[in-house]
């Protein structure tokens, strides 16, 4: 097997006072989707944030394409596309769809950078790829539907051709049609771009068939591996603290009635 | 009734019109970003902190300290300090927590202001002048200070426009690509604070909110992008300011109150049409 794009070993990370997550170890390879699941406050977002240098690493190692945190954080940020939770994105400011995606390029080049034709071409292309039509390019972001907003944020994270994509609860508050379109797109680009994709989720039944690796997390890593070996009633009870129904479906999918919240 | 040409020959009115133009530029920059950041309460909080600073200066004059120094400078110091303290207290991502800390700072500075006013023997008229403001009574010195702050604020807003836009849109996303969000957050608060303080003599503590924030609140309901909001804020502030100055001169009423009423009237009309 080739070297992993993301390699995490014995990670304890958190914020000012103490670690939120402890002793986390996992790998993500190219063309792979890794899902991280756990209850509220389990530290899922902290784990994502530690990979892009936004949380404090107390101990352990994070290596991204051979670069290490914290020393190589500038290089790491050039190869990671990050999609934060949509609820943290302001709806007060009338930024257009095109400008949101273009910011993925321009903000990396300094305050005085003037976008080139090539940049505009790249933006149009990535918007087309995520399924945002021309009629929406000059529309205000805050007037788009939840699914369209999520696609635009995804386009912004992809516009500078990252090697790894980190998505924090990308499916919350979007309709089933948009959800399936986004899943299909993620599956397509993980293969075509050889991306490593890490997704933090609460409920995974829709994407389960395409998940290569799954981690259950509740402050500590409960289990990590392939879907069948990780999603057992015992592991789920240890993670969520309640009994969770697991319904076998075929030899790969295990739609579960998991932790749902708005 | 005096003619417009006749009114423009009056130096008080000329200075007022010049002040309206400068205030409109600040409404377009500082005002728009106050709305974009969702921090409109900040303007009211800063205005009261600045008032506490001015009141302190007036109390110190009584005891022979700071004589000759414009109380506006102490007001500016208090306003900027409040902006920095608020910026350091809460994370830029937590708008609701920032609003709470503005409220606490508001209560603190207003308590100080009342304390200082109670200690005044001679200067309470000057304190009331700051609370109410009068754009027709601005001196050349006031216009110079207003011009300098407007140029500095506008230059910095234009220079870091892209970062300020995406700091307002998604601070977490900005942080993820390595931008020092905390520094830009405090810088934006300081720019809004300085814009608020230099408006006090012209429009007063109470109405500064109306003049600085309401034009952008109206523009944000109409315009289709960030630049559109900024341009429209400028036009709305300018038209309401100029018409407020002229009408108040003819009818002999306080201009800032009239400008505030015109703006709020436009806000309600636009809100009703946009529903």
**Any CB–CB contact under 8 A between A99 and chain B?**
yes
What CATH number corresponds to the domain at position B131?
Answer: 1.10.3470.10
Within 10 A of B159 (CB to CB), how many other CB atoms are there? Answer: 12
Report the number of distinct structural domains present in chain B.
1
In A, minimum Cα distance to B216 occurs at A93
Chain B interface includes A81 (CB < 8 A): no
Full domain range(s) for residue B64 = 4-274
Mean pLDDT taken over chain A = 89
Answer yes or no: is pLDDT of A255 > 60: no
- Residue A79 touches partner B, C-beta closer than 8 Å: no
Minimal-distance CA residue of chain A relative to B220: A94
What pLDDT shows up at residue A251? 59
Among residues B46, B20, B64, B27, the alpha carbon closest in space to that of B241 is found at B20
The CA distance from B275 to A9, in Å, is: 54
The ipTM (two decimal places) reads 0.89
* pTM listed for this prediction: 0.91
DSSP SS3 for A69: coil
Which of A74, A75, A76, A94 should one mutate to test binding to chain B, selecting the residue with the greatest count of B CBs within 10 A? A94
Instruction: For residue B64, give every residue at least 6 positions away whose Cβ sits within 8 Å of its Cβ, in sequence order, or none.
Output: none
Radius of gyration of chain A (CA): 18
Q: Are residues B18 and B242 in contact, defined by beta-carbon separation less than 8 angstroms?
A: no
Checking if the pLDDT of A260 tops 60, the result is no
Q: Which of A80, A89, A107 sits opposite B162 (nearest CB)?
A: A107
pLDDT score, position A202: 79
Closest chain A residue by Cα to residue B172: A84
Give phi and psi for A100, each to the nearest 5.
-60, -45
* Closest by Cβ to A92, choosing from B35, B93, B225: B35
Instruction: Give the tokens for residue B96.
Output: 């609701």
Q: Which helix (H) or strand (E) holds A63?
A: strand A56-64
Does A9 touch chain B if contact means CB atoms closer than 8 Å? no
User: Contact, A250 vs A49, CB < 8 A?
Assistant: no
Residue A229 has pLDDT above 60, yes or no: yes
Say whether residue A193 is in contact with chain B using an 8 A CB cutoff: no
**Given phi > 0 = left and psi -120 to 50 = alpha, else beta, which region is B20?**
alpha
Q: What is the CA radius of gyration of chain B?
A: 19
Interface of B with A (CB under 8 A): 35-38, 93, 95, 159-163, 165-166, 168-179, 220, 223-226, 228-229
Cβ–Cβ below 8 Å for A111 and B36: no
Q: Would you give per-residue pLDDT tens digits along chain B (275 residues)?
A: 567 777 777 888 899 999 999 999 999 999 999 999 999 899 999 999 999 999 898 888 888 787 778 888 999 999 999 999 999 988 888 888 898 999 999 999 989 988 988 888 776 777 778 888 888 888 899 999 999 999 999 999 999 999 999 999 999 999 999 899 999 999 999 999 999 999 998 888 888 999 999 999 999 999 999 999 999 999 999 999 999 999 988 888 888 889 999 999 999 999 999 87
> Cβ of A96 and B178 within 8 Å?
no
Q: In terms of CA atoms, which chain A residue is nearest residue B225?
A: A94
- Within 10 Å of residue A144's Cβ, how many Cβ atoms? 17
Cα(A178)–Cα(A171) distance, integer angstroms: 9
Cα distance from B227 to chain A (closest Cα, Å)?
Answer: 9
């Amino acid at each position: 097997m080739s070297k992993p794009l993301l390699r995490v070993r014995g990670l304890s990370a958190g914020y000012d006072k103490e670690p939120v997550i402890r002793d986390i170890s996992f790998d993500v390879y190219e063309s792979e989707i890794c899902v991280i699941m756990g209850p509220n406050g389990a530290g899922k977002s902290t784990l994502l944030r530690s990979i892009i240098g936004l949380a404090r690493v107390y101990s352990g190692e994070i290596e991204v394409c051979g670069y290490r945190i914290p020393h190589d954080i500038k290089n790491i940020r050039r190869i990671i596309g990050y999609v934060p939770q949509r609820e943290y994105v302001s709806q007060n400011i009338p930024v257009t769809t095109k400008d949101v995606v273009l910011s993925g390029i321009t903000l990396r080049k300094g305050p005085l950078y003037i976008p080139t034709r090539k940049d505009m071409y790249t933006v149009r292309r990535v918007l087309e790829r995520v399924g945002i039509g021309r009629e929406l390019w000059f529309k205000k972001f805050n007037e788009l539907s939840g699914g369209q907003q999520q696609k635009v944020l995804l386009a912004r994270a992809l516009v500078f051709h990252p090697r790894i994509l980190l998505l924090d609860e990308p499916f919350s508050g979007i309709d089933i049609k948009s959800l399936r379109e986004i899943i299909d797109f993620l599956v397509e680009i993980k293969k075509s771009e050889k991306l490593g994709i890490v997704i933090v989720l609460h409920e995974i039944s829709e994407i389960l068939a395409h998940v290569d690796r799954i981690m259950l997390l509740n402050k500590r890593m409960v289990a990590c591996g392939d879907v069948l070996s990780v999603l057992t009633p015992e592991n789920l009870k240890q993670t969520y603290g309640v009994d969770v129904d697991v319904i076998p479906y075929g030899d790969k999918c295990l739609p579960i009635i998991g932790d749902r919240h708005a | 009734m005096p003619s417009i040409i006749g009114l423009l020959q009056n130096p008080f009115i000329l200075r007022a019109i010049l002040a309206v133009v400068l205030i409109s530029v600040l409404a377009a920059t500082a005002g728009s970003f106050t709305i974009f950041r969702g921090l409109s309460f900040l303007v009211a909080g800063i205005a009261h902190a600045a008032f506490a600073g001015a009141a302190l200066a007036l109390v110190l004059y009584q005891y022979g300290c700071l004589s000759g120094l414009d109380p506006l400078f102490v007001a500016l110091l208090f306003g900027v300090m409040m902006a920095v303290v608020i910026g350091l207290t809460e994370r830029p991502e937590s708008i609701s927590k920032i609003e709470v800390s503005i409220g606490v700072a508001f209560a603190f500075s207003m308590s100080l202001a009342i304390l200082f006013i109670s200690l005044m023997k001679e200067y309470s008229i000057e304190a009331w002048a700051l609370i109410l403001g009068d754009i027709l009574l601005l001196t050349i010195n006031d216009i110079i200070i207003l011009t300098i702050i407007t140029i500095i604020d506008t230059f910095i807003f234009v220079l870091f426009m892209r970062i300020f836009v995406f700091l307002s849109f998604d601070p977490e996303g900005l942080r993820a690509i390595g931008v020092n969000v905390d520094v830009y957050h405090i810088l934006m608060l300081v720019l809004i604070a300085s814009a608020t303080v230099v408006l006090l003599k012209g429009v007063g503590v109470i109405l500064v909110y109306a003049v600085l924030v309401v034009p952008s609140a109206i523009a944000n309901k109409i315009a289709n992008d960030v630049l559109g909001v900024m341009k429209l804020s400028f036009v709305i502030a300018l038209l309401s300011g100029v018409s407020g100055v002229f009408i108040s001169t003819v009818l002999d009423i306080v201009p800032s109150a009239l400008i505030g009423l015109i703006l709020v009237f436009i806000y309600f009309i636009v809100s009703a049409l946009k529903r």
